Structure 1
Amino acid sequence: MITLFIKNMVCGRCIMVVQNEFDKLSIDIKNIRLGEVIVDKELTDQEKKQMQDVLLSLGFELIDDKKGRIIEKIKNIIIDLVHYQETDTKTNLSDILGRQLHHDYNYLSNLFSEVEGTTIEKYFIAQKIEKVKELLVYDELSLSEIAFRLNYSSVAYLSNQFKKITGLTPSHFKQIKEDKRKPLDKL
């Protein structure tokens, strides 16, 4: 089995689009999840080229280098943790990444900063703020409930971080409800 890593595959809809393209090219997928597609055999050069062209036209990209794969795994773990898991874990992000990627966190952190031009922590905060925006727009949870769900130590800390990143208070953001959200792959 071969694992292919795909950049910008960050949501359920992305998975469906990529699955559809593999189906069109009659490439059998054994498993697919955020950023990864597992196939039962190595793709031929022609299949790789076809898939790369199709994926690029849709805003995705096959990742061939080891560093790129690690970066994509870091992003996908963070996106999954923030946007798709309903846990109130107090485990440090550094512990989660180190355990899941089998690398020392300092190595991961330095690699991420070198390649992405930002820190893992800033990327994690950007994802959390985007989730806060989503939850504010849905208007189903109070700010206290949002702070609890996203493991903020207090509403005040969440509000301060939100304002620092967006320039708006959560309540002001909630009032304007304009197109202030960003796609996850653009963070």
Structure 2
Amino acid sequence: MAEMISYPTGYTTNGSITGTNYKSSIGKGSDVANRTGNDYAKSTGSKATIDYSFDFSAIPSDAVIESVSCAVKGHCENTSKSTATLRLYAGDTAKGTEARFTSTTDNVVTLDTGTWTAEEVKNMKLRFTIGYYGGLVSGATVTVVYKLGESIYMRISGAVVEGNKVYKNVNGAWVETQASEAFEEGKKYRLKT
């Protein structure tokens, strides 16, 4: 099992948004204090979105995703009229369920994230949807737990290289096999170059 943590690495907006500092309020590893007034992200129309991106490019494409967890820190402008929602997306596909900030002071909301593939994780974004009564995201963390698939990884000249085929000698003939079946437990192996 391996674990990778990412903080927002960038953002894109859709719709007209007001607020003076909301763009700088979240960034790589940021966790800012409560903000008020003009710092709120608000829509000048009926609704707008801010999509925060994450970098999970180091996760191998054959990884099996065991779990994804997402914690978002922030707050809404008005608890009785707030339309601000949070949800994870894989590209344009919604994952898990929608969540809301329910306080006018910073609190942490944990999102139900659903199930993911390695390809989906690499296209992950956190969508913050806002209306006339807005809110503010002041920090976000996504943790992905995964295990490696059937590939074999070797370090060659300092670089990690993925092997694409594994062969085992069976009764004098070399046969292609799954990596998990190619090695016997407790036996030592040496890479011959």
Task: Settle same-fold status: TM greater than 0.5.
Answer: no
Rg: which structure is higher? 2
Q: Which has the higher contact order (CA 8 A, sep 6+)?
A: 2
TM-score, length-scaled by structure 1? 0.25
Q: Which structure has more helix as a fraction of its residues?
A: 1
Q: Which structure has more strand as a fraction of its residues?
A: 2
TM-score, length-scaled by structure 2? 0.25
